[in-house]
Amino acid sequence: MKLQTRDFGEIEIDSREIVTFASPIFGFERYRRFAFLYHEEISEHFIWLQSVEEPALCFILVQPHLISDHYHPQLPDEADDLLGEGECMCWLTVSIREPFEQSTVNLKSPIVVNPTTHLGAQFILDAELPINHPLFRED
């Protein structure tokens, strides 16, 4: 299927790869269907979470292990009910800042996706975690 995107123009995606958010992304409750887009020339660790319903809506996500070796989110009990059983992928939302070195990630509210069921959700974790953690490690 053809998909209009914010950052890549019109692209072709496999409609079977669309992720439906069983619990919406906070602040964007109207939008439930997203596609993961990869741009290998930029980085294999960053992805774009592009809305299928709104071309202008796109989030940049990063793998948590790049931010911290100690980030192991404890998902709420309803995670399995919402996403189905199986191994889930966890991603952090990136807020791009100017200058780029001041960009941050949200550790408090990860995006979690079950690649088997193609269901996703954003969870607000109970743990005391920052919503504006530095994207770049100090080391």
pLDDT in tens, 102-132: 999 999 999 999 999 999 999 999 999 999 9
% residues pLDDT > 90 (the chain): 78
55 in a structural domain: yes
Lowest mean per-residue pLDDT among 14-18, 32-36, 68-72? 68-72
- H or E stretch at 82: helix 78-83
Separation CA 25–CA 43 (nearest Å) = 24
CB distance 117 to 86 below 8 Å: yes
Say if residue 44's pLDDT is above 90: no
How many domains, in total, are found in the chain? 1
Q: pLDDT tens digit string along 45-102?
A: 789 999 999 999 999 999 999 898 889 999 998 999 999 988 999 999 999 999 988 9
Is residue 88 in some structural domain?
yes
User: What pLDDT sits at residue 41?
Assistant: 74
Rounded CA gap, 55 and 29, in Å? 16
Concatenating the DSSP letter of every residue in 32-70 gives: -EEEEE--TTT-SSEEEEEESS-TT-EEEEE-GGGT-TT
Residue 129 lies in a domain: yes
How far is 46 from 67, CA to CA, in rounded Å? Answer: 12
* 139 assigned to some structural domain: no
pTM, two decimal places: 0.90
Domain that holds residue 9: 2-134
